[in-house]
Amino acid sequence: MREEHNSIGANMVESGEDTASGVIPAFKRLMIRAGLNARATVGEAAQSLADACGARREKIAHDKPSQSSQNFTSSQSFTDLSAYRVILKHREIGRLFRIANPFYRCHDARKGAETWIEGRSYVNFASYDYLGLNQHPAVAAAAKAAIDRFGTSVSASRIVAGERPLHRALESALADFYGVEAAVAFVSGHATNVSTIGTLMTPDDLIIYDDLSHNSVIVGCKLSRATALAFRHNDTDALERLLQEHRHLHKRALIVVEGLYSMDGDVADLPRLVALKEKYGAWLMVDEAHALGVLGAHGRGSAEHFGIDPNRVDIWMGTLSKTLASCGGYIAGKQELIDILKYQAPGLVYSVGLSPPLAAAASAALAVLKAAPERVARVQANGKLFLSRARAAGLDTGTSEGPSIVSVIVGDLITAGKIGERLLARGLNVLPIIYPAVPLKAARFRFFITSEHSAKQIAEAVAIMRELLHGSRARNKAA
Ligand SMILES: Cc1ncc(COP(=O)(O)O)c(C=O)c1O
């Protein structure tokens, strides 16, 4: 691991107009003085901090339209959009606290659990390549052979431009792996959720989804115009209360959960979910984006993990981009479900088919997964090792259960930004999750652990995290 300071992070700091020392405690005092709490926005925090520090700052447009912005010319400016103002607010906080932007880092190359950023190597805890298949020679060879035979694109949607044997092979291998009748592959995991939920559900229907569901589920709910209600994360009692209250008011109902949650690294209670969906007459959709290849002795996911018949779940969803080292998404389930999607889902009917190398890579990765369950055992063991060491080191791992994703909660977003830079300087690439994705004071680092990390890399990462976090607490106390 690298000990020296990382020059990349330092170079990316946009302005040095504020001295960082003493700023974090000042920030905290200001938060209290200004009556800001967990519901305060980043913009409010930055505003009070900047005002009190007298720091020079760009003028940020207020939420209420000014008189001049009510005329037609200015309302057409992209800079007026609240989406842009949020970006400015985050940039401003970065400038005030001299924190480099951790997002959109450009990686030069990757090898197993290591990566290169601007010519320097890092131990990588920010990749979903859970079984290291992005490095597997059989996966790369399959993609190259597919290009040689079919080219790089299928040019249009499969319904009109036709499909290739690669699509059929992938879909039947996925259905077989899940032990269900059929499967269909989309070009994007995100589009899979949006299109599937948007196609199946109507304004007469009810969707109840876990509060920590992926954005693609939320967008799918909006598209469907069904009544969509969130239940408290992983709280099946809360789910049942919503079913009792609302199920009878709607024609059809859908429950959506993730098998293994990408945000907190915990596992959905599939047996209870299946019991509830059967009791209340609802469909159950399980997003296995992070569970495939990780849960169950053979990596078959949540059903194998809990020993549940996969046919008791109506809609299995997953992505090709994580364990399967490709790009795209899939739905697996009954033949009639797949027929509906193939002829009605906009993400299939009006979008291009998977490119040949991506379909071939996913099939080859699935074949390696089937043939090499020892990779699954390794990722599970590595996840457990990380979690037990992190807990022993006194890190706050929230509800993480360990298989492949461990979140370490560090506090406010400024602390997260500072620690993120120090992690990079110490040779670790791991990204923070900050407000508004999580509450203002619950910023966290998500460590994605793969079968390819060594025990030494895991032990060192936990030790560095502990050192930085304790150092940051001691500095804040002393100031
Ligand atoms: C739970 C979950 N579902 C769906 C997706 C979307 O998949 P993709 O990135 O392959 O489009 C993701 C991506 O991170 C995810 O975490």
Residue of 41 and 172 predicted with greater confidence: 172
CATH of the domain at 127: 3.90.1150.10
398 and 332 within one domain: no
69 and 109 within one domain: no
Best residue among 258, 262, 286, 433 to mutate for probing ligand 1, ranked by most atoms within 8 Å of CB? 262
Containing structural domain, residue 235: 137-371
- In this prediction, residue 359 has a pLDDT band, given cuts at 50, 70 and 90, of very high
Best residue among 129, 130, 188, 190 to mutate for probing ligand 1, ranked by most atoms within 8 Å of CB? 190
CB 332, CB 186: distance < 8 Å: no
Of the listed 90, 214, 277, 290, which one is catalytic?
290
CATH of the domain at 292: 3.40.640.10
CB 28, CB 476: distance < 8 Å: yes
392 and 253 within one domain: no
pLDDT at 67: 53
Query: Is the CB of 380 within 6 Å of ligand 1?
Result: no
Q: Please state which of the ranges 39-43, 83-87, 345-349 shows the lowest mean pLDDT.
A: 39-43
What's 60's DSSP letter?
Answer: P
Closest Cα partner for 123 from 111, 113, 108, 131?
A: 113
Q: Atom 10 of ligand 1 has which residue's CA nearest to it? A: 189
Residue type at 76? Q
Query: Is the CB of 326 within 6 Å of ligand 1?
Result: no
State the Cα–Cα distance between residues 430 and 428, nearest whole angstrom: 6
State the Cα–Cα distance between residues 77 and 85, nearest whole angstrom: 12
pLDDT at 8: 25
pTM: 0.85
Looking at the domain assignment, is residue 13 inside a domain?
Answer: no
Query: Is the CB of 262 within 6 Å of ligand 1?
Result: yes
- pLDDT tens-digit readout, 91-106: 998 898 888 888 888 9
Which atom of ligand 1 is nearest the CA belonging to 216? 4
Q: Please state which of the ranges 223-232, 289-298, 307-316, 429-438 shows the lowest mean pLDDT.
A: 429-438
The yes-or-no verdict on residue 66 having pLDDT over 80 is no
- pLDDT tens-digit readout, 238-252: 999 999 999 999 999
State the Cα–Cα distance between residues 368 and 360, nearest whole angstrom: 12
Query: Is the CB of 453 within 6 Å of ligand 1?
Result: no
Of the listed 305, 322, 418, 453, which one is catalytic?
322
Which atom of ligand 1 is nearest the CA belonging to 321? 10
- In this prediction, residue 39 has a pLDDT band, given cuts at 50, 70 and 90, of very low
Closest Cα partner for 193 from 159, 217, 164?
A: 217
312 and 184 within one domain: yes
- Average pLDDT for 316-331: 98
| Dihedral angle over CA of 54, 58, 60, 61, nearest 10 | 130
- Average pLDDT for 298-321: 98
State the Cα–Cα distance between residues 125 and 430, nearest whole angstrom: 5
Kindly tell me the sign of the dihedral angle through the C-alpha atoms of 258, 264, 266, 272: negative
267 and 229 within one domain: yes
The yes-or-no verdict on residue 199 having pLDDT over 80 is yes
pLDDT at 380: 98
Looking at the domain assignment, is residue 350 inside a domain?
Answer: yes
Query: Is the CB of 472 within 6 Å of ligand 1?
Result: no
The yes-or-no verdict on residue 416 having pLDDT over 70 is yes
- In this prediction, residue 407 has a pLDDT band, given cuts at 50, 70 and 90, of very high
- In this prediction, residue 479 has a pLDDT band, given cuts at 50, 70 and 90, of low
Which atom of ligand 1 is nearest the CA belonging to 327? 10
pLDDT > 90: what percent of the chain?
73
403 and 342 within one domain: no
Looking at the domain assignment, is residue 402 inside a domain?
Answer: yes
State the Cα–Cα distance between residues 304 and 284, nearest whole angstrom: 16
Looking at the domain assignment, is residue 165 inside a domain?
Answer: yes
Query: Is the CB of 214 within 6 Å of ligand 1?
Result: yes
pLDDT at 5: 29
State the Cα–Cα distance between residues 130 and 109, nearest whole angstrom: 17
Query: Is the CB of 190 within 6 Å of ligand 1?
Result: yes
The yes-or-no verdict on residue 32 having pLDDT over 70 is no
For residue 376, the surrounding DSSP H or E stretch is: helix 373-392
Q: Is 33 helix (H, G, I), strand (E, B) or coil?
A: helix
The yes-or-no verdict on residue 225 having pLDDT over 50 is yes
Looking at the domain assignment, is residue 307 inside a domain?
Answer: yes
410 and 441 within one domain: yes
For residue 121, the surrounding DSSP H or E stretch is: strand 120-124
Name residue, tokens 């899940």: 178
Domain end residue (candidates: 342, 371, 400): 371
pLDDT > 70: what percent of the chain?
83
pLDDT at 70: 56
The long-range contacts involving 58-66, CB below 8 angstroms and separated by at least 24 positions, are 58/88, 58/92, 60/85, 60/88, 60/89, 60/92, 61/85
The yes-or-no verdict on residue 422 having pLDDT over 60 is yes
457 and 415 within one domain: yes
Query: Is the CB of 192 within 6 Å of ligand 1?
Result: no
CA 189 to ligand 1 centroid distance, Å: 5
249 and 168 within one domain: yes
- Average pLDDT for 100-125: 90
State the Cα–Cα distance between residues 297 and 271, nearest whole angstrom: 17
CA 347 to ligand 1 centroid distance, Å: 15
CB 401, CB 291: distance < 8 Å: no
Query: Is the CB of 329 within 6 Å of ligand 1?
Result: yes
Query: Is the CB of 196 within 6 Å of ligand 1?
Result: no
220 and 172 within one domain: yes
- Average pLDDT for 264-293: 98
pLDDT at 38: 35
State the Cα–Cα distance between residues 433 and 443, nearest whole angstrom: 6
Which atom of ligand 1 is nearest the CA belonging to 261? 1
pLDDT at 76: 81
301 and 180 within one domain: yes
- 305 tagged catalytic: no
Who's near 287: CB < 8 A, 6+ residues apart? 193, 213, 214, 217, 256, 257, 258, 259, 317, 318
CA 259 to ligand 1 centroid distance, Å: 12
- In this prediction, residue 23 has a pLDDT band, given cuts at 50, 70 and 90, of very low
Who's near 332: CB < 8 A, 6+ residues apart? 174, 175, 178, 180, 182, 183, 316, 317, 318, 338
Distance of CA 360 to the CA centre of its chain: 24
Looking at the domain assignment, is residue 6 inside a domain?
Answer: no
Domain end residue (candidates: 354, 371, 388): 371
Who's near 419: CB < 8 A, 6+ residues apart? 410, 432, 445, 465, 468, 469, 472
For residue 445, the surrounding DSSP H or E stretch is: strand 443-448
The yes-or-no verdict on residue 52 having pLDDT over 70 is no
- pLDDT tens-digit readout, 430-461: 999 988 778 888 999 999 999 999 999 999 99
Which atom of ligand 1 is nearest the CA belonging to 322? 10
- Average pLDDT for 117-129: 95
What's 155's DSSP letter?
Answer: -
The structural domain count of the chain equals 3
- In this prediction, residue 110 has a pLDDT band, given cuts at 50, 70 and 90, of confident
Domain end residue (candidates: 350, 371, 392): 371
CA 319 to ligand 1 centroid distance, Å: 6
Looking at the domain assignment, is residue 19 inside a domain?
Answer: no
CA 328 to ligand 1 centroid distance, Å: 9
- pLDDT tens-digit readout, 125-158: 999 999 999 999 999 999 999 999 999 999 999 9
CB 380, CB 245: distance < 8 Å: no
State the Cα–Cα distance between residues 105 and 7, nearest whole angstrom: 14
The yes-or-no verdict on residue 50 having pLDDT over 50 is no
165 and 109 within one domain: no
pLDDT at 338: 98
Mean pLDDT across the chain, nearest whole number? Answer: 86
Rg (CA), the chain: 24
State the Cα–Cα distance between residues 465 and 419, nearest whole angstrom: 8
State the Cα–Cα distance between residues 413 and 45, nearest whole angstrom: 11
Phi–psi pair at 43, nearest 5 degrees:
-60, -40
Who's near 473: CB < 8 A, 6+ residues apart? none
Looking at the domain assignment, is residue 143 inside a domain?
Answer: yes
- pLDDT tens-digit readout, 279-306: 999 999 999 999 999 999 999 999 999 9
- 290 tagged catalytic: yes
- 477 tagged catalytic: no
C-alpha separations of 477 from 18, 52, 84 in Å: 21, 21, 35
pLDDT at 93: 85
Residue type at 85? R
Query: Is the CB of 318 within 6 Å of ligand 1?
Result: no
189: number of Cβ within 10 Å: 22
